[in-house]
Amino acid sequence: MSTITGLFVPKWGMTMDEGTLTEWLVNEGDEVSAGTAIASMESSKISGEIEADEAGVLAKQVLSIGETAPVGALIGVIGGADTPAEDIDKFVSEHSSAAPEEAPEPSSNEPAKESTKKQEPAPKAEKPAPAPKAKKPSKASAGKVNIPQELRGFDSAPATEHALDLSRKHDIKLSSVTPTGRADRVTVADLVEAVKQAGGSLTFGNDRERVNFVPHVGDDADVPATEHARDKAEELGVNLRDCRPTGRAGRITVEDVVAAHSRLSGGSQDTSADSTADPKTTSAVSNSAQEVPMSQMRQVIAGRLKESYLESPHFRVTAHANIDKLLEFRREVNAQRRDLKVSVNDLVVAAVARALVAVPEMNAQFDAEENVIRQFEHADISVAVATEEGLITPIVTHADTRTISDISSIMVDLATRAKAGQLKPDEFQGGTFSVSNLGMFGVSHFDAIINPPQVAILAVGSASRQFVPDDNGEPVAANLLPLTVSADHRVIDGATNARFAAELKRLLESPSLIVV
């Protein structure tokens, strides 16, 4: 009998518990190799591709495009060219009736982890008869890895998620590998072939067991949730353990309950209210509209920002920094470094990092559930980057210990991979302070919403030429950069926020202090 293997929803981050299928890259009946990209998926913050663990034929596409499924759910099935259809159907049936196992949490180097309350397990549903497991590759099947010298030296190039992981692990030079993947991305199969052609050896396997999803049963009274969310869950018949929390301190919101209900019911929604709308309330002039479904990333952004705005009492201080010396300093640095172009935003990030060291109360996270404030030794700066799918905040870790050229290089790499959906979860989750810069769009100033569990965020507007008095009281033209710092008043006092803004202004106006 031919080997049958499953494709499952992966776990791409600590907070990921579901993914949405965005595209099938291989048709049913097509032959695939180990490492072939089979399908594209997106989670709340990242997009990636699902790759085949073994060679074979894509026998069945279980998940439909646009459908959302929990981590560990069956996406598709790979079999042999001669595998009977009834064996494939049996495999799908067996994996659809099994309970999902807990996916392993990835390791993290973040200095602090959000505290969660230990929950009592819900009463277990009656287990179905154990189903025979599909063959999985053993650890020994990975074989000996031998990377030729000419392919050594990891560098950055467009690649799939698994290819990036594999190339980092084995120090493979991605730019030397010919890409065959979608959008000219390097796949695992490309890596294996390149190593083989160079006289080396590299095998790819996955020994994780994953199974599909069954709704929870039993008491969910100990699950953290808002009162409105509990009422909605009772109304819709949703167990709170099936909801993905997006609220503050890991609480489940009404939106989480509605999303879980939609997922469990196959995405169907009651549209009867729309169909019976009173024609008198509609406009007499026709105006067509296109309904654009919110991506999973946009839904998570909406939920988190709503919770932050409603639960965190924001207060703001504004300062204007004279950046004439900063602009001259930037011109000198870029004239000396032809290989690197430092931006004003790079200098702002460097100044923020040093200001956080001077005012450590701002370099913190707040755990409202445990009533704990965590102050960090180093500044991990989350920098807002706009992508087609929504806002993402890649992190410049330990920015207070880095040179300006380091920060600039890191930001170019992070922003490029963020827009391509290639960031690893630990590269955008966490952070101790955020910077959002809309100055390049000509925005004079704006207020930013705090990125929880952080306690403050800096909004940077566009510099403008204004007259200011010199030392003799005479008006002179200067470039003034607007800086607005939003802080959580539960944690940060007004004087603390003002001291931080003043220190940041001082650093930006004396750029030599940034490089010390």
Mean pLDDT of 114-123: 40
Q: Which range is least confidently modeled, 8-22, 125-139, 451-465?
A: 125-139
Summarised one tens digit per residue, pLDDT across range 141-169 is 345 688 998 998 887 677 776 677 788 78
Query: Mean pLDDT in the chain?
Result: 80
Residues 383, 414 contacting (CB under 8 angstroms):
yes
Q: Which of 89, 184, 219, 493 is catalytic?
A: 493
What is the pTM for the complete model shown?
0.52
pLDDT for residue 41 = 83
Summarised one tens digit per residue, pLDDT across range 25-53 is 888 888 888 888 888 887 766 667 888 88
Q: Which residues of 315-350 are buried (b: 16+ CB within 10 A; e: fewer)?
A: eebebbbbbbbbeebbeebeeeeeeeebbbbbbbbb
Domains of the chain with bracketed CATH: 4-95 (2.40.50.100), 146-206 (no CATH), 220-252 (4.10.320.10), 312-514 (3.30.559.10)
Cis ω before 453 (30° cut-off from 0): yes
pLDDT band at residue 104, thresholds of 50, 70 and 90? very low
pLDDT band at residue 2, thresholds of 50, 70 and 90? low
Residues 30, 173 contacting (CB under 8 angstroms):
no
Q: Tell me the residue ranges of DSSP E strands in 141-188.
A: none
Residue 398 bears catalytic tag: no
pLDDT for residue 208 = 37
Indicate the pairing of strand 47-51 with strand 37-42: antiparallel
Residue 489 bears catalytic tag: yes
Answer whether residue 295 shows pLDDT above 80. Answer: no
Residues 6+ apart with CB under 8 A from 331: none
pLDDT for residue 206 = 41
What tokens appear for 226 in the block?
């808002």
- Which residue has better confidence, 495 or 220? 495
Residues 6+ apart with CB under 8 A from 267: 66, 67, 68
Q: Which of 378, 398, 445, 489 is catalytic?
A: 489
Task: Give the integer Cα–Cα distance in Å for 347 and 324.
Answer: 13
